[in-house]
Amino acid sequence: MASVHLFSSPYFSSLSSNRSTYRSSSSLGLKSIQRSRKIKVPVCTAASVVFRNLEADDFRHPLDKQNTLILRAIPGLNELGKALLGTITEQVMLLENIGTSVLVSKNQLVDLHQLMVEAAQILNVEAPDLYVRQSPVPNAYTLAISGKKPFVVIHTSLVELLTKKELQAVLAHELGHLKCDHGVWLTFANVLTLGAYTVPGLGGLIAQRLEEQLFRWLRAAELTCDRAALLVAQDPKVVISVLMKLAGGCPSMADQLNVDAFLEQARSYDKASSSPVGWYIRNAQTRQLSHPLPVLRAREIDEWSRSQAYKSLLNRATQMNVVQKV
């Protein structure tokens, strides 16, 4: 699920470093929805628990921690990123969304607003602005630039594809990026990579190595944000269902998809890639991806949902009252 990319192959997003300002988290072409169709999302009236004192490191994936330390060790990364990303770029992104999307609020698409407010309360993070954008490509992404209030964008086709609980899991994934400061990191690093490619000689080599490290970090960061989605959904099958639908789902056959079968598919992938040749092919397949493969993400979230760390977080949480209409 960075500041412009959602689910990688499909899932959640944030401005990702793929040599483009925007990157769709899910590049699956699904049937375009009718423009005249009204977006109606039944709202969740209550969640099981809320994490009042939740910190990012409470659920951060070990690979995210490891790769974040590596990025922080790169001299001048933040400073150079800030210099390359100016106010003009920020304004272009902001005006693009304001001009072409619908801003969700207590007076506009109230049910979606409620889903975001509730997810933010559960994760103990400030709710960002939320925009809905017309697009046949299921996607969601987050933009966090220059310390300004971040915002999340979701596409109409994603609303059509998912149930209300699944949609809230996507919003929680995006909130995970903000909770862990992924958006700013990825935005800066993305621009730095683009800038390095313009440097003659070693510039391209530096950028290539940096890009590989950034993608490795982002794949790990996505695993962290899948955990944020689980903390809000509090049901691993909801998160896995989102991954499954983004990998190969459409509204007309969504009710025929089977989460258990998808998990079995993930286990078969692990088995097929366990040999030396399979391991090499698997690494070659994922090396240039900004997000982990959907089956691997499904396996990861299934395993974490059974872990003592997740159970301990639930034990620390407190009961959440019914969210009042805002």
pLDDT of res. 24? 33
In a 3-state reduction of DSSP, which class is residue 50?
strand
How big is the chain, counted in residues? 326
Of the listed 160, 166, 174, 300, which one is catalytic?
A: 174
In order, the DSSP letters of 65-128 are HHHHHHHHTSTTHHHHHHHHS-HHHHHHHHHHHHHHEEEEBTTBSHHHHHHHHHHHHHHT-PPP
Chain centroid to CA 197: 26
pLDDT band at 213 (very low <50, low <70, confident <90, very high): confident
In a 3-state reduction of DSSP, which class is residue 174?
helix
pLDDT of res. 13? 47
In a 3-state reduction of DSSP, which class is residue 309?
helix
Mean pLDDT of 167-172: 98
Where is pLDDT greater, at 197 or 219?
A: 219
Q: Are 24 and 139 in contact (CB under 8 A)?
A: yes
3-state SS track over 260-292: HHHHHHHHHHHHHCCCHHHHHHHHHHHCCCCCC
Lowest-confidence segment of 123-132, 133-142, 183-192 by average pLDDT: 183-192
**What are the pLDDT digits (tens) for 198-210?**
545 445 555 667 6
Q: Half-sphere exposure of residue 191, counting CA atoms within 13 Å on the CB side?
A: 20
Q: Ranked by mean pLDDT, which of 1-10, 79-88, 280-289 comes out on top?
A: 280-289
pLDDT of res. 44? 47
Kindly report each contact of residues 86-89 with a partner whose C-beta sits within 8 Å and lies 24 or more positions away, as own/partner: 87/146, 89/21, 89/145, 89/191
Q: Are 106 and 326 in contact (CB under 8 A)?
A: yes
**What are the pLDDT digits (tens) for 10-68?**
344 443 333 333 333 333 333 333 333 445 554 444 456 888 889 999 999 999 999 88
Greatest extent of the chain over all pairs of C-alpha atoms, in Å:
60
pLDDT of res. 176? 95
pLDDT of res. 326? 41
pLDDT of res. 216? 86
Q: Which of 99, 88, 171 is nearest to 133 (CA)?
A: 99
pLDDT band at 255 (very low <50, low <70, confident <90, very high): confident
Confirm whether 79 is a catalytic residue.
no
Mean pLDDT of 248-272: 91
Angle, vertex CA 233, rays to CA 229 and CA 237, nearest 5? 95
The per-residue pLDDT of the chain, averaged, comes to 77
- φ/ψ of residue 129, rounded to 5: -70, 150
**What are the pLDDT digits (tens) for 90-124?**
677 778 778 899 999 999 999 999 999 999 999 99
pTM (2 d.p.): 0.79
